[in-house]
Amino acid sequence: MPPADAEKAQTSDRGASERGAAERGTSERGWPLRISLLFWVTLALLPIAAVSILQGIDRARADVAEVHERLIQSAAAAAKDEESLLSSAEQIARALANLSDVRNVTRQCDQVLSDALIGVKYFANLSRFDAKGTNVCSALPRAKGGSAAGKSIFERVRASKGFVVSGQMVSTVLGQPVIAGMLPLHDAQGRFEGAMSVVLQLHWLDFMVRAHGLPKGAVVFIYDHDGNVLASNDATVAHALIGTARRDGEAGTVHSAYDALGNNWSFATSSLRGGVISVAFAMRESRLFSDTYLHVGADFLMPILMIGLAWAGIWFATERQVTQWIAYLRRISAAYRSGHYTIRPQLEDAPREFRSLGDDMSDMAASIQDRDRKLRDALTQKSLLIREIHHRVKNNLQIVMSLLSLQAGQLKDPAARDALMQAQIRINALALVHRILHEIEDQTTIDLKRLLHELAHQITEGMRGENVGVRVEEDMVERDVSGEVAVPLALFAVEALTNIFKYAYRPGQKGLVRIELVPVDGGKLRLAISDDGLGFVDQAQKTGIGTRLIKTFGAQIGGVSALHSEPGKGTMVEVVFRDPACADDQVPAGTAETTDPAAR
C-alpha cells in the first residue's frame, strides 16, 4: 500500500479506535448482566421470602401456643397422683367419721384408728378432734390430748363444709414436716362438733414426684401458698422458681423465670384440693421450644437460602453460559477492530445463541475481507493508471521540449531563441514534477525538497554558462505536498532561478544563490530564493512577465508572494503558503499578494 494510503488507513484506524473507545465508554454505563440478573431474581423472590417469613411468624405463634397448652396439660397430669392421694385421704376420713366409735369417741376409738392406720402406707396418723380442737382420739397414742385450736387449718375446717388440706407444718409427734387434711363433723342440727384428721408425711410426696415418668429435663415440684417446697425432683430449680410461682402462678397459665445458672424456665401450675397446695411442671425454654426454634429458623432461613442458591446458580450459569462467551467474543471483536479478519470464533461448546452470533461475526469478517481485497485491487489498479498517466504526460512534455529545441535551433533572432529556451525550461519543470510522481509509489504527494533540489541542479547546469563561480546553497525542510501545490512551486522556482542566472551576475562574476524552505509562524511555509548579485530599481519591470508569473503561482497555492531588491545587494523573491503538516491552518486560495517591484 502506498505511504499516503497507509497513513490514511492508520488515521482511519486511530479514528475507529477512538470511536470504539467512546462507544465502549457509553456501553459500559449501567449494570453488568450478572448484577442485573441478581437484582431482578432477588426482586422476584422477595414476595416468596416475605410469605415464608410471615408463615414462620404464624408458625412460631402456633408452636408457642401449642407448647403452652402441652405445658398446662403436663402440669395437670403431674398433679393427678397427688390429687388422688388427697382424695384417698378424704375418703378415709369420711369412712372413719361414719364409724360410731370414732364419731362418738368411745373407748374403742383409738383402737379403730390404729387398726385403720395399719392398712394405709402413705399416712402417718389418724385423729379425731372435738369442737374445741382437742385431739380426743388418735392412732398414735402420743398425739392424743394435743390441741389444734388456733391453727390455720382448724379455723378453716370449722368454717368449711368439705375436706380441708393444710400447707407444710412440723408435727410435734413425728418431729418432721407433714401436711394434714381435715374433714369437718356436724351434728343433726348442723352444729360443728369436731373434725377428722389425716396426716401425710412429705417424703411420700417426694417419692411420688420422683416416680413420675417425666420427659428429659422436666422438673416437677409441689409447693404450698406460704412458698414452701414440699417435694421436687430438682430442689435447686424448684427454689429458684418458687417466688414467681407464688406471685404469678395462676392455674392454667404459663410463666417464665430464671434459675441460678441463668437458664430460662417456662412452667405451668395446677392447684390441688383446697387451693393451698399446687403442683408446678417446668422445662427449660431451650428444650421446650427447640422444635419451634428449628421450625422458625427454617422458615426464616429458607428464603435466604433460596435467594443465596439463586445467586449462586445465576453466578455460575452466567459465568459458564454467558460471561465467558461474551468476553471471548469481545476479544474476537477487538481482533477485528485491529484488522485481523482471518480469526474465526470457536464456539462449539457455547450456547446456541452465541454460536449463531459467532457465525454472524464470521460472515461479517469474511465480507470485510472480501471488501478489503476488492478495495486493494481497485487501489492497485488506480495507482497503475495514475503512474501511467504521469509517465505519458512526462513523455509528451519531453516531446514538446524536443520540438521547441529544434525550433529554437532554426531561429536566428536571439530574443525569439531566448523565449523558446525559457518556455523549454518551464516545460522541463513540469516534466520533472510528473517524472517524480511517476517514480514514487504514492502518486498523490511529492517530496518538495527533492523537487526543488533537482530543479536547481538542472537550471544551474543548463544556465550557468560563464558564471562558474556562482554557487547554490540549500536549506530546506522535508515536506510532502500535493501535485496541485508542487507544480506552481516548481514554476515559481524556475522563474526565480532563471532570472538570477540571466540578470543577477556579470560574466565571470562569483556569487551565492540561496534556496530556503523553512516553517514560519502561523502554520506556514516560506520558500525564499535570493542572490547577492547586481539588484535593480527599474520600476518598469513591475509589469514584466516574471512579476505576473510570480503573482500567479503564489495565488494558485493560496500564498503571499513578495520580491525585494536593492542595487548592489542582490534580489530575494519569496512566497509564504500553508504548511501541509499543519492541517488546521488553512489560507483561502486567491489571497496572494505581490509586494515591491519585480521582474526582470
Q: Contact, 223 vs 277, CB < 8 A?
A: yes
User: Which residues in 420-453 are b (16+ Cβ under 10 Å) and which e?
Assistant: bbbebbbbbbbbbbbbbbbebebbbbbbbbbbbe
C-alpha cell at 363: 460472515
Q: List pLDDT tens digits, range 225-272.
A: 888 888 888 888 888 888 887 777 676 788 888 888 888 888 888 888
What is the C-alpha to C-alpha distance for residues 196 and 125, in angstroms, rounded to an integer? 11
Indicate left, alpha or beta for 262 from its phi (over 0: left) and psi (-120 to 50: alpha).
left
Element (H, E) at 26: helix 3-27
Q: Where are the domains of the chain?
A: 79-211, 469-478+496-600
* Fold category of 79-211 in CATH: Beta-Lactamase (3.30.450)
Whole-model pTM: value is 0.49
What is the C-alpha to C-alpha distance for residues 61 and 70, in angstroms, rounded to an integer? 14
Q: List pLDDT tens digits, range 136-186.
A: 999 998 989 888 888 888 998 998 889 999 888 888 888 888 889 999 999
Element (H, E) at 511: strand 511-520
Longest distance between any two alpha carbons in the chain, whole Å: 197
What does the DSSP assignment read for 336-394? HHTT-TT-----TTS-HHHHHHHHHHHHHHHHHHHHHHHHHHHHHHHHHHHHHHHHHHH
Q: Contact, 218 vs 74, CB < 8 A?
A: yes
Strand 277-284 and strand 219-224: the pairing is antiparallel
Nearest alpha-carbon partner for 473 in 530, 550, 535, 525 = 530
CA 189 to chain centre: 95
331: Cβ contacts below 8 Å, ≥ 6 apart: none
Question: What dotted CATH number matches 469-478+496-600?
Answer: 3.30.565.10
pLDDT at position 79 is 83
What is the C-alpha to C-alpha distance for residues 103 and 110, in angstroms, rounded to an integer? 11
Residue 388: CB atoms within 10 A of its CB come to 11
pLDDT at position 544 is 63
Beta bridge partners of 371: none
501: Cβ contacts below 8 Å, ≥ 6 apart: 459, 460, 463, 464, 465, 467, 470
Residue 63, judged by CB atoms within 10 A of its CB (0-12, 13-18, 19+), counts as middle
Cell 397448652 belongs to 69
Spell out the alpha helix ranges (H) of 482-598: 483-499, 545-556
Residue type, 33: L
pLDDT at position 540 is 46
Q: Contact, 574 vs 561, CB < 8 A?
A: yes
Residue type, 471: R
SS3 at position 461: helix
Element (H, E) at 193: strand 192-201
What is the C-alpha to C-alpha distance for residues 247 and 257, in angstroms, rounded to an integer? 12
Q: Using alpha carbons only, what angle is made at residue 128 by residues 124 and 133, rounded to the nearest 5 degrees?
A: 110
Residue 184: CB atoms within 10 A of its CB come to 22
Residue type, 113: L
238: Cβ contacts below 8 Å, ≥ 6 apart: 219, 221, 223, 229, 232, 280
Per-residue pLDDT 10s for the chain (600 aa) are 444 444 444 454 555 555 555 555 555 667 777 788 888 888 888 888 888 888 878 877 887 888 888 888 888 888 888 888 888 889 999 999 999 999 899 999 999 999 888 878 788 899 999 999 999 999 998 989 888 888 888 998 998 889 999 888 888 888 888 889 999 999 888 899 999 999 988 888 888 888 777 888 888 988 888 888 888 888 888 888 888 877 776 767 888 888 888 888 888 888 887 778 888 888 888 777 777 777 777 777 888 888 888 888 888 888 778 888 888 888 988 988 888 888 888 888 888 888 898 899 889 988 988 898 899 888 888 878 877 887 888 788 888 878 888 888 888 888 887 778 777 777 877 777 777 766 666 557 888 898 889 888 888 887 766 677 888 999 999 999 887 888 888 888 888 888 888 888 888 888 899 999 999 988 899 999 999 888 876 554 555 666 677 778 888 888 888 888 888 888 889 999 998 888 544 444 444 444 443 333
Residue 86: CB atoms within 10 A of its CB come to 21
